[in-house]
Structure 1
C-alpha cells in the first residue's frame, strides 16, 4: 500500500508540471489561430505566475483555517477549470481570464501537497518530488511535438 501511495504521489507531482510547459510548446499553434504576436505568450505566463505567487502567499493562512484536503480539492478544481478554459478559447483576452483560476489553483495546490506529503512520507522524499515536477516540463514538450507529428502522419 505504501508503494502504491508513493507512486500516486509521484504521478501527481509529474502532473503539476505538464500544463506549465505546454503553453510554450503549444504557443506557435495558438498564436496563429488567435492572430496575435509571439510576445503575447509572456502576458499569459506572467498572469499565471502572478496568480501563483498570490495564491502561494495566502496558502498558509488558508491552511490554518481549512483542512488541507479541501484546499487540494479546490485547487484542483481551479486548475482544471483554467485548463478547460484554455482549450475552449477563440480570442486572446479569454486566455488571460482563464490564466487567473489556473494560476490560483497551481500555487495553492503545490504548497498544500508539499505540506501533506511531508507529513505522510517525510521531508526528504518531498524534496525529491520536485525533481519529478521538473522532469515533467521536458515530458510535456515531447508530448506536444509527438502530437504534431502524429497529426502530420494522419
Structure 2
C-alpha cells in the first residue's frame, strides 16, 4: 500500500470516527461536575455546589451547531479543525480538561487502525438479508449507550 493511499484512508477513517462519536458517543453524560461558584449560562443560573451533568448526546444533535444534526455525514469534517481531544466543545465524547477520559490516547491511536484493518481485510454484509435502510439505529440510554437492536454483520474474506 503506498503512503498517499494510507494517509487518505487514515483521514477518511477519522472523519467517519468523528461523525460516529458525534452521533453515538460512548456515554450520553460526562462524569458529573460540581459548580465551584454561582454562574449564569445562557440565562440560567447554576448555583454554587450544584451537580452539573454535560449531555454529550444532545450536544451532538444541536441544530444551532451542526447542519442536519441527525444525518450521518462524515464529510462535514473535511474542512474542519474540530477533533475529539477536548479542545473543541462542539465535540467532546471523551470529555475535556482535567477530567478527560484516560483512555483517549489509546482510542486515538488504536480505534482507527482497528477499523481500517477490518474494512481493508473484509467485505461486509448484513445478516438475515437486512437492507442498510432497515437498520434500527435507536439507542438504549444507560451509563453507556447501546443499540436497542444489536447490529449483525457478516465478514467475508477479501
Whichever of the two has the greater Rg, that structure is 2
Q: TM-score, structure 1 length as denominator? A: 0.32
Q: TM-score, structure 2 length as denominator? A: 0.31
Greater strand percent: which structure? 2
Greater helix percent: which structure? 1
